[in-house]
Amino acid sequence: MKKFHVIAEDDSLKVRVVASTRAGFMTAALEGLFTANRPQFVETDIETRFVARETERDFSVGADDFPGLLAGFMEEALKLSGKNGEAYVGLRLNLITDTKAEGTFLGQPVTGFGHDLKGIDRRSLKVEKNQLGYWESTVSLKK
């Protein structure tokens, strides 16, 4: 099962996320966020054997509920991405509950992004468990 799906409509960009665990859900949300943002990765130079190194950025976010945690987590990834010129392609979670997430974003250097994402639309954000017990959400991204 694909864990995320990017939905590009006329003036909106959304990421649909589905996973069986909170950790899988956050990983899929991160992957969907940066797929939607269309990173332009620093290319490997074969002649000089320069390979863009993977970076690690620690994070800790908290919120009153799981939807707020999801929004804070994604906004933290966007903030660190913009500050450090990176796209996060992986995640190591040390802690994940309904109200707190701690871990490390795993990134690659970028020269830019296809979209200039500003954040997450929190007004309509819901995270729910479906009939099969999977976490699911459609996250609207602010351009």
Q: What's 65's DSSP letter?
A: S
pLDDT in tens, 17-63: 999 999 999 999 999 999 999 999 887 655 555 556 789 999 999 99
Using CB atoms within 10 Å of the CB of residue 142, give its burial: 0 to 12 exposed, 13 to 18 middle, 19+ buried. middle
Enumerate domains of the chain plus CATH numbers.
4-142 (3.55.10.10)
Alpha carbon 60 to its chain's center: 14
User: ∠ CA 134-97-117 to the nearest 5 degrees?
Assistant: 75
**Dist CA 133 CA 139 (whole Å):** 19
The arithmetic mean of pLDDT across residues 85-105, rounded, is: 96
pLDDT above 90 covers what percent of the chain? 83
Residue with tokens 């933290």: 76
Q: What is the pLDDT of residue 35?
A: 95
Residues in contact with 84: Cβ distance below 8 Å, sequence separation at least 6, in sequence order: 55, 57, 107
The arithmetic mean of pLDDT across residues 100-108, rounded, is: 97
Task: Give helix then strand counts, H and E, for the chain.
Answer: 2, 9
- Answer yes or no: is pLDDT of 89 > 60: yes
> pTM higher than 0.95 for the full model?
no
